[in-house]
Amino acid sequence: MSMSNKDIFSEIVDVTLYRYNSIDNKIWGILKRDSSHKKLSDDSVIVNSSRLKNHIFNNFKREINRIESMGSGVVHKEATSVYFIWQMLEEMPNLRWVKFTLNNNICYNRIIEVDDIKTIKYSIKTIRGTLRLFDIFEPNVLYTVNAILNDAGIIENNSHFCIIKTSDLIYKLENIMTSSVAMENGAIAAQILQFITDYENDNPEILLVTDY
């Protein structure tokens, strides 16, 4: 998912807030009052990540200072949405948009037990991301990479990009690894695969970008 603890893939994510959680409800109200938000439905909006960061910082300075002064392991046991949203904004440098969905279920619980230790599970789903092949491979290797992906029906000949679901890309890369007689082909497919397997459950749309 990340390099140097940064997620450089995710550009659009989906976050769930709960109406009957006081902090979540306050965040929802702040977002709804932002004139630049885009309404998707009565219970769903999308917000620019930069404006979201300003809102969180300006309205929750005390909690952010607390987060930054304590160890993440300690904070995580009692964290609110502010903690997780702030961490998301700090760790996703290429994030552009955040979709918020308001859950009206009165009965909810983010607390789970891991090895008999209670902690908070916070769901952030990646909807869209960009994978730049020239960030993975050296320029002199890209011609071979593009030829392999073209033969596998992933990217068209001489095209600089394609849009593909993560599940479809994983399936085609695994086919290359199992069916290709050339070891180099399998190694290249495996190298791409390691950058996207963490997103398999979210199954986001991928903008796959290459160069020639």
**Is residue 16 classed as helix, strand or coil in its secondary structure?**
strand
pLDDT one-digit tens code per residue, 92-118: 999 999 999 999 987 666 766 666 666
Give the integer Cα–Cα distance in Å for 85 and 97.
13
> Is 10's pLDDT higher than 90?
yes
> What's the pTM value of the predicted model, to 2 decimals?
0.86
Q: Domain residues of the chain, as ranges? A: 10-122, 129-209
Question: Are 102 and 28 within 8 A, CB to CB?
Answer: yes
Mark out the alpha helices in the chain (DSSP H runs): 22-33, 49-59, 61-69, 72-77, 81-91, 139-151, 166-179, 183-193
In the sheet where 161-165 sits, what is the strand order? 38-41, 44-48, 97-103, 10-18, 124-132, 205-209, 161-165
pLDDT value of position 1: 37
